[in-house]
Amino acid sequence: MKKFSTAALILALASAHGLAATNDEAANGSRCAFLPNAPDQHVVVRGDTLWDISGKFLKHAWCWPQVWGMNKEDIRNPHWIYPGQIVYFDRKTGRLSLNKPGAGDTNTGGGIPTLRLEPQVRTEGLGKLAVPSIPSGVIEPFLSQPLVVEEKGLSETPRIMATQEGRVILGKNDTAYVRGDLKGGTSFQVFRPGTPLKDPVTNAVIAYEAAYLGTVKLERPAKTPDEAHGFRVVSVKQEMGVGDRLLPVPPTPILNYVPHPPERALDARIVSIYGGVSQAGQNQIVSINRGQKDGVDLGTVLELYRLGRVVTDKTDNSSWSIGSLGKKQVKLPDTQYGTLFVFRVFENISYGLVMQVADSVQIGDIAKSPDPDAAD
């Protein structure tokens, strides 16, 4: 699989028209305000991410599309930023830019400045050096794996019906015998039907998570309808054996997106933590009970909250409670403790990378739209 950085999530250059964070916003303590000690510039180096670069200037890194003056079209068609370039903070306009303050745009037609490339250099080659938006290695394995399937999404797919020399577990370069319609495919991913994912609020099943086991490649197609196909195991992530299902290897995704709040207010809950563990920390994968039908798209940023407990107010001595069976019940405020970056979206469910967190993520926690005007 290609490195995710070859299709890096990339930074747009400053636009004349967009959602810029102004000096007034900074003065008002907006969530998209600059840090009091923000530097005048930052030299981009290998290993930087756009999230990290923005965090050097902004109180909340997810706000960077606004202070780069990005509009929706810019987000759909972002440009590259590379090691060696300098990101400048124009304190007068309250923007970040690749242009030194006062130098003006590099193009004359307005909008996003054009990054000029040397004629002998291939853009694809430069793309390999482009700075990714978030740590790419963490989510790379999840970009081309289905993760979520419909209830009967694997029931009609090719299946492993026997193994080399009757082995219980298949390893790399072992032979697997497969029955089913390959539909002309030769490279497949192997999955095992997973457990149902339930909405923490309604308890209804909203999806099924398939366990990714590895990859296999066709070496000897069946010659007759009652003969099995012969496959070689190319890679193994988890134990693979009889009964496991095959799905064609999808093309390597080319994703161009940047962090942004959802277009409409969104209130979701954490459904599961990938890997079957009970808690998640920074750079771990979680799923939420909202998807495409709810307006979630690639790059959606949500804030993580711990649901406030309901406690008894033992200090309440009001007349109505005297002699009552119990004191007044009071809900404590929800506590914001982290940020979630959505990188994979399905109809009813989405997967996100846990970014900065001050506490562990738990199933049932809240993930909702950031409030740009809320005080820190």
E-strand ranges in 27-126 read 41-43, 86-90, 95-97
Would you list the domain boundaries of the chain?
4-139, 147-248, 267-368
> What separation in angstroms does the CA of 286 have from each of 142, 250, 278?
11, 22, 11
Strand partners, 302: 340
More confident residue, 278 or 348: 348
Question: What SS3 state is found at 140?
Answer: helix
Q: For 259-279, what is the mean pLDDT?
A: 87
Close Cβ partners of 124 (under 8 Å, ≥ 6 residues apart)? 6
- Reported as a pLDDT band with limits 50, 70 and 90, residue 362 is very high
Give the count of beta carbons closer than 10 Å to the beta carbon of residue 143.
Answer: 19
pLDDT of residue 101: 85
User: What three-state secondary structure class fits 33?
Assistant: coil
Q: Does domain 267-368 have CATH number 2.40.10.410?
A: yes
Which pLDDT score is estimated for 321? 47
DSSP state string for 151-200: TTTTTTS-EEEEEGGG-SSB-TT-EEEEES--TT--EEEEEE--PEEE-T
Question: What tens digit of pLDDT does each residue of 329-339 get?
Answer: 888 988 899 99
Phi, psi of 24 (to 5 degrees): -60, -40
- Residues 44-94 have pLDDT tens digits of 888 888 888 888 998 888 877 777 766 555 544 455 678 888 988 988 888
Averaged confidence pLDDT in the chain: 77
Quick count: other Cβ atoms within 10 Å of Cβ 70? Answer: 24
The mean pLDDT value for 234-261 works out to 82
Sign of CA dihedral 360, 365, 367, 371: negative
Enclosing H/E stretch for 66 = helix 64-67
- Does the pLDDT at position 150 exceed 90? no
Percent of the chain surpassing pLDDT 70:
73
